[in-house]
Amino acid sequence: MTLLSASPIALPRDYAIRAVPMTAVTIDDAFWAPKLEVNRTVTIPHILKENDDTGRVANFEKAAGKKSGAYEGRRFNDTDVYKIIEAASYSLALVPDPRLSTKLDELIQLIAESQEKDGYLFPARTIDPQHPAPGVGPERWIYENGSHELYNAGHLYEAAVAHFEATGKRTLLDVAIKNADLVCRTFGPTGRHAVPGHEEIELALVKLYRATGNATYLQTADWFIAERGKPHPDMPPYPDKAFEMYNDRAYKQDQAPIVEQERAVGHAVRAMYLYAAVTDVAALTGNDAFAKAADRLWQDVVSKRLYLTGGVGSRGDVEAFGDDYELPNLRAYTETCASVGNDLWNHRMFLLHGDGKFIDMFERVLYNGVLAGVSLAGNTFFYQNPLESNGRAKRTEYFDVACCPANLARMLEQLPGLIYAVGADLRGRPATNDTIYANLYVGNHADVKLGGRTVNIVQDTRYPWDGDVSLRLEPEGSGAFTVALRIPGWARDQPVPSDLYRFADNAGEQPSISVRSRNASAERVPFDVRDGYVRIRRNWKRGDTIHLTLPMPARRIVAHAGVKDDEGKVALQRGPLVYALEATDNDGRVLDLVIPRAAALRSRFRADLLNGVEVISGEGSRPFVAIPYYAWNNRGQGEMAVWTKEKP
């Protein structure tokens, strides 16, 4: 997945669908544009400063010999620096910022100077190889079960590719290549037999392959995935008893070969990164068994292990997936990183299959699970994202283990590159190779390259507050192509692509689509949804405008009977947004509220509230007001609930 620009290398095999790069799309709506501005001007600088203030950058200075002292903090803290370089690079691709560019150049210089001669880059060891930081092990990679050496390398590569594509500079890319060459020489069929204790490098090696065309990186990614589940003679047990889970093979999805895995198990973030890589490698090598494994695991996640907010990973003790339907609300762990990983995976699944259900998932996760991870102000973060609070939960400025903030920042910064895609429509009738997929409804203007020409698209919408969307097309020249409009599951009476959640009320008005040419009246388009899309194929002319109407009533959702924590309870959703009841709008308490099935739901837009939100209100056991889940905890602490009892 290349989000910035067309890959410089013509790869022998790839996804049949490609994302329209972020640099071709400008978001200019009232919902996301301000959030991306906050991400760029508040969140990214905030994290850069936290990394400076907490010794994360100093660790590189020490490894480079510019400062004395021991490695500070966790051995995986380097990734907080890499991930924010990645986020800032996307930001530079969209909005030039000489100061930010210089800051990145300085960080990259430091990283380059921290690299050992043969490419090894791990300040936690390099600073004092005789006395490496806790958990790092006496020799390189010997504690890979828990050392995170390969995990750190993966985030280095992702940052390097983003920086290279955004700026054209090879400074960090060359560092990454030197490190990856060492990794590829060290691990493999004739080298060390071990797998990454925390998956991440697999998908990063795929990115490095895309950026360089060096097939060795793809081969090593493929090998790391195929090696999982086999004996690992070069992976002795991690000795720290406090982290015994590192030796549990299921914790790192290593309990069986991936092609035999049926259930999503273990650490949720690790799983998401692995599954994303499995999907990439399936597409780039044509490995059908990998594709089937990804399909199977995806079905398992969406059927039994998914919160309504799109969050995954219900168990806090080891940040892991639970048993079937184990989805507690107050204790929900649902790490922000797991939501980011879930989105990265679902986007790849869409590129592989061209099915809108993956974007349905992507959208649910983005608008709820991901977006709740950051405050409206952009400078405090959730690590855990519970669906219920007794008043104790609150966002904080940074963390000892700070994986989430920069992960969220890099995710949001990529949004322009996740709205459209182009390429094959293997499920169209007939199959075509010239389809523009409109996946997300976000006001923007875009220059979409389709075959040899450009199609300028202006999308106008108040989504997610309103389901009216117009897309004006200005194609160069004439000729037929297909526009595939995603009809979200929530607009088709299917909140998730499984039986895990369902609407408990009637849909009411149905979606509709029309096309209007200049000086002509609107033509209604047959509402024929296949694999989540209505396809419109015609000789598009300049100024042709598609009008999509997705009625957006406030609706009730109930969970599968297997989810005991949601039994007898209802949740509210409107459009893609899951709603939450928060104490401050409800006389200071919400956990005792009852919303009977018969209570009417009203919604209205309140420009004065939480930067402008549509609220849902009604009369339950007392009058209630619900706000979008993502916006909770922006007015102090208090009780919160997504699921509410239907009977006293």
According to DSSP, the residues that pair with 81 across neighbouring strands are none
Whole-angstrom distance, CA of residue 355 vs CA of residue 350? 6
Contacts with Zn ion by CB under 5 A: the residue count is 4
Find the shortest distance in angstroms from Cβ 342 to Zn ion: 12
Strands (E), 489-612: 501-503, 512-516, 523-524, 529-530, 533-539, 544-549, 554-559, 569-574, 577-582, 602-606
Find the shortest distance in angstroms from Cβ 164 to Zn ion: 25
Find the shortest distance in angstroms from Cβ 7 to Zn ion: 29
Site string for Zn ion, 219-248 (x = CB under 5 A): ------------------------------
Find, among 329, 440, 330, 311, the residue nearest to 368 by Cα.
311
Told to check if 403 binds Zn ion by CB under 5 A, we report yes
Find the shortest distance in angstroms from Cβ 404 to Zn ion: 4
By CB under 5 A, what part of segment 581-600 binds Zn ion? Answer: none
Find, among 95, 216, 208, the residue nearest to 161 by Cα.
208
Find the shortest distance in angstroms from Cβ 91 to Zn ion: 20
Q: Which is nearer to Zn ion, 337 or 411 (CB)?
A: 337
Find the shortest distance in angstroms from Cβ 336 to Zn ion: 5
DSSP result, 63-76: HTTSS-S---S-TT
Q: Which is nearer to Zn ion, 238 or 273 (CB)?
A: 273
Find, among 264, 234, 267, 340, the residue nearest to 498 by Cα.
264
Whole-angstrom distance, CA of residue 166 vs CA of residue 481? 30
Judging by beta carbons within 10 Å of its beta carbon (0-12, 13-18, 19+), is residue 531 exposed, middle or buried?
Answer: middle
Told to check if 180 binds Zn ion by CB under 5 A, we report no
Find the shortest distance in angstroms from Cβ 339 to Zn ion: 9
By CB under 5 A, what part of segment 300-339 binds Zn ion? Answer: 335, 337
Find the shortest distance in angstroms from Cβ 154 to Zn ion: 15
Told to check if 404 binds Zn ion by CB under 5 A, we report yes
Find the shortest distance in angstroms from Cβ 405 to Zn ion: 8
Q: Which stretch binds Zn ion (CB under 5 A): 93-101, 368-376, 402-410, 470-478?
A: 402-410
Q: Which is nearer to Zn ion, 343 or 646 (CB)?
A: 343
**Residue number of the CB atom closest to Zn ion:** 337
Told to check if 344 binds Zn ion by CB under 5 A, we report no
Find, among 144, 181, 580, 214, the residue nearest to 371 by Cα.
580
Told to check if 487 binds Zn ion by CB under 5 A, we report no
Site string for Zn ion, 350-389 (x = CB under 5 A): ----------------------------------------
Residue 464: cis peptide before it, omega within 30 degrees of 0? yes
Q: Convert 578-593 to b/e letters by CB count within 10 Å (16 or more is b).
A: bbbbbbbbbeeebbeb
Q: Convert 435-472 to b/e letters by CB count within 10 Å (16 or more is b).
A: bbbbbbbbbbbbbbebeeebbebebbbbbbbbbebebb
Footprint of Zn ion (CB under 5 A): 335, 337, 403-404
